[in-house]
Structure 1
Amino acid sequence: MALLPLDDAPGRLPTGIPLPTSNRFGAPRLLRSALVLLPLLLIGGWAVIDWRTVYDGTARLGSADPWWLLVALFFTCLGWLSAACVRQGALPERLPVGLLIASQFAAGAANHVLPAGIGAHAVTLRFLQRRGIPVARATASLALYSAVRPVAKTLVLLVFLLAFPDLLLTGALVPDERTSLLIAGAVTLALAGTALLVTTVRPLRRPLFDALRCALTDIRLLHTRPARILALWGGAAAAPLLQASVLHAVGAALGLSLSWVQVAFAFLAASTAVGAVPAPGGIGPVDAAVVFAMVALGAPVDLSATAVIGYRVLTVWLPLLPGALVLSALVQRKVL
């Protein structure tokens, strides 16, 4: 048996043979680079498809009152702060304020690309995981966030109806029997589909039950802390009012004669009625419903449509590119 040279002895690498390059971190780096570019690519594709909306809305806003548009932009920024408050209120752990607000600004961009809030929830879930929050607790906070916001919006709508009963005199805003049956049928189908999915797909049961158990525990814990209660319910109640304030400010910039109460009621009623339709950021069904509600309250059709387009430009298109850049930066810095 021949002896190996000293350079080829066991435990040492032979000389003259190139060392293999490890690609263990190649795939994660490639994936991270793809995630950095993905938001920009999605936004670019969406802009190509729906460029007419952006062009028309921007052109019509060119003749609007700039001071009212600044007020609308201010309320738009407050909307991201309210979302961050609700996210913090849904978790017992304290989150860094700056990164939390930045994550919600980035989540807004993702939310307008994917339907039913999937984009915002995905960004927030990743953010919470990077902060060391267990998956069950993070998922439970997302479920609590999703449940509190429509409940708070409905309560605010009921307060409006009690405080301003004259708004109910607008018969066009009251759904007829056919519309009520459609809404009830959609809710029933959604609940039945969820129950069927949970009962038939066994791998989903344990994660869902774990998240539900964690959510119930966190709900009891959170509602013993006044700061969390204020952040959770106060932020959820403020969110639709801030959105309605943006719409009213845009309408005032264009010369719309409706009062803030009328615009807020129209927005609350419309978004509550059709907000469950899975569209990116609620764009489409909510817009049509808001225009219909404002027209029913006495506003001109063209002015109402222009106000809604301007509202979408300020809340969706204007922050979309900066939000995508922030999302890419957070991914690059491993915050997400």
Structure 2
Amino acid sequence: MTLLPLEDVRGPLPAAGPATVPPPRFPSATRLLRRALVLVPLLLIGVWVAIDWRTVYDGSARLASADPWWLLLALLFTCLGWLTAACVRQGALPERLPTGLLIASQFAAGAANHALPASLGAHAVTLRFLQNRGIPLPRATASLALYSVVRPIAKTLVLLVFLVAFPDVLLTGTLVPEGWTLLLIAGGATLGLGLSALLLATVPPLRRPLLDALRCALTDVRLLHTRPARVLALWGGAAAAPVLQASVIFAVGAALGSPLSWVQVTFAFLAASTAVGAVPAPGGIGPVDAAVVLAMNALGTPMDIATTAVIGYRVLTVWLPLLPGALVLSALVQRKVL
């Protein structure tokens, strides 16, 4: 049997032509979105500097003549604040999170927190971090809710401890809220709860995820409070956070010559931030600052020193970490940690 050549069976082989060039591949929508998210923090910094550059300039100029050792202590308290935030986040979850990435995420969340009101930026960064760690959405949402509930409760408890421990030093008539102020605070809290209940009752798509998160939160609360390490991280970190913030103000005030003691400054910050902390301002900037200045002035600090101390506090806790925090946020997004 004679075998025919291949070209006799299938016809002539095609001549070798030029190599086919594959069509150009364009970045996917997900990749474009990720690249945009990398640039968003830097754009927010530029917008914020353009709007509020005078605060940064004045605060930095006044701090240039302050005692550098007290300012170094204030910077140390600022760094400890990021560690306490990471402790509270870990304490609100049964799962073990990687320590280094958790601290980095909270440092990045601090930058995002000053761009959106009511801590929405920090919660968004943390939620994304938890989901990328494999935490289910209901449990991640429940941890955010637990974090948000524990912090004001712990701050109020610390304030009560200060009132009981130092009644003669702290009780000042100008710091005691008037009746209409207490009524306004109670009315605001009632309105917030009422709106939440109304949304839950009238918007069915919100009902199921919120109820799932609530059930998960109740389960996690019972589980977490059977672990002493989680209890210490959750409640200890939440109680230490406002004390460290007040310590930053005290150290900056001491660098400028403020006559107030640490106890008085801490009480002034706790009282002021508790009274107006519910106002939805980015990072608490604005209402809390004004309230702290008035409280420090009522306790004996000259108005110019109190104002400069709060400006210095914002420079150390907001402006100095803002650019590094935004860069860390961009790096975490680029590496798909967020």
Structure 1 gaps, min length 5: 9-14
Aligned to 2:155: 153
C-alpha distance in 2 between matches for 1:177 and 1:5: 100
Q: Which of 106, 109, 113 is 1:107 aligned to? A: 109
1:95 match: secondary structure:
coil
Any idea what the Cα deviations from partners look like across 1:271-294, whole Å, max 9, x if unmatched? 011001000000000000000110
1:315 match: secondary structure:
helix
Aligned to 1:206: 208
The reply to whether residue 281 of structure 1 matches residue 273 of structure 2 is no
The reply to whether residue 327 of structure 1 matches residue 326 of structure 2 is no
Check whether the contact 2:170–2:264 (CA below 8 A) recurs between aligned residues. Answer: no
Report how far residue 28 of structure 1 moved: 1.1
C-alpha distance in 2 between matches for 1:157 and 1:169: 12
Aligned to 1:223: 225
C-alpha distance in 1 between matches for 2:151 and 2:12: 72
1:122 match: secondary structure:
helix
Report how far residue 243 of structure 1 moved: 0.4
Any idea what the Cα deviations from partners look like across 1:55-93, whole Å, max 9, x if unmatched? 000000000000000000000000000000000000000
C-alpha distance in 1 between matches for 2:199 and 2:316: 38
Report how far residue 29 of structure 1 moved: 1.1
Q: Sequence identity, in percent?
A: 79
C-alpha distance in 2 between matches for 1:99 and 1:112: 20
Aligned to 2:33: 31
How many corresponding residue pairs? 327
Check whether the contact 2:170–2:267 (CA below 8 A) recurs between aligned residues. Answer: no
Aligned ranges 1:156-235 → 2 under 5 Å:
156-235=158-237
C-alpha distance in 2 between matches for 1:124 and 1:46: 22
The reply to whether residue 62 of structure 1 matches residue 64 of structure 2 is yes
Aligned to 1:316: 318
Aligned to 2:301: 299
C-alpha distance in 2 between matches for 1:53 and 1:5: 82
Q: Give the aligned residue type for 1:64.
A: A
Check whether the contact 2:74–2:252 (CA below 8 A) recurs between aligned residues. Answer: yes
C-alpha distance in 1 between matches for 2:180 and 2:143: 36
C-alpha distance in 1 between matches for 2:253 and 2:22: 67
Larger radius of gyration, structure 1 or 2? 2
Aligned to 1:119: 121
Any idea what the Cα deviations from partners look like across 1:118-150, whole Å, max 9, x if unmatched? 000000000001100000100000000000000
Aligned to 1:257: 259
1:182 match: secondary structure:
helix
Any idea what the Cα deviations from partners look like across 1:174-203, whole Å, max 9, x if unmatched? 111111111111111111111111111110
Any idea what the Cα deviations from partners look like across 1:195-254, whole Å, max 9, x if unmatched? 111111110000000000000000000000000000000000000010011010000000
2:210 match: secondary structure:
helix
C-alpha distance in 2 between matches for 1:40 and 1:249: 30
CA RMSD between the two structures: 1.8
Q: Give the aligned residue type for 1:279.
A: A
- The verdict on how the C-alpha distance between 1:223 and 1:253 changes in structure 2, with shifts beyond 3 A counting, is same
Aligned to 1:143: 145
- The verdict on how the C-alpha distance between 1:172 and 1:32 changes in structure 2, with shifts beyond 3 A counting, is same
Aligned to 1:12: none
C-alpha distance in 2 between matches for 1:288 and 1:171: 18
Deviates further, 310-319 or 182-191: 182-191
- The verdict on how the C-alpha distance between 1:5 and 1:46 changes in structure 2, with shifts beyond 3 A counting, is farther
TM-score by length of 2: 0.93
1:50 match: secondary structure:
helix
C-alpha distance in 2 between matches for 1:83 and 1:128: 15
C-alpha distance in 2 between matches for 1:95 and 1:249: 33
Report how far residue 169 of structure 1 moved: 3.1
Q: Give the aligned residue type for 1:177.
A: G
Q: Which of 123, 131, 142 is 1:129 aligned to? A: 131
TM-score by length of 1: 0.94
Provide runs of 4+ in structure 1 moved above 2 Å.
4-8, 15-23
Q: Give the aligned residue type for 1:155.
A: L
Q: Give the aligned residue type for 1:225.
A: R
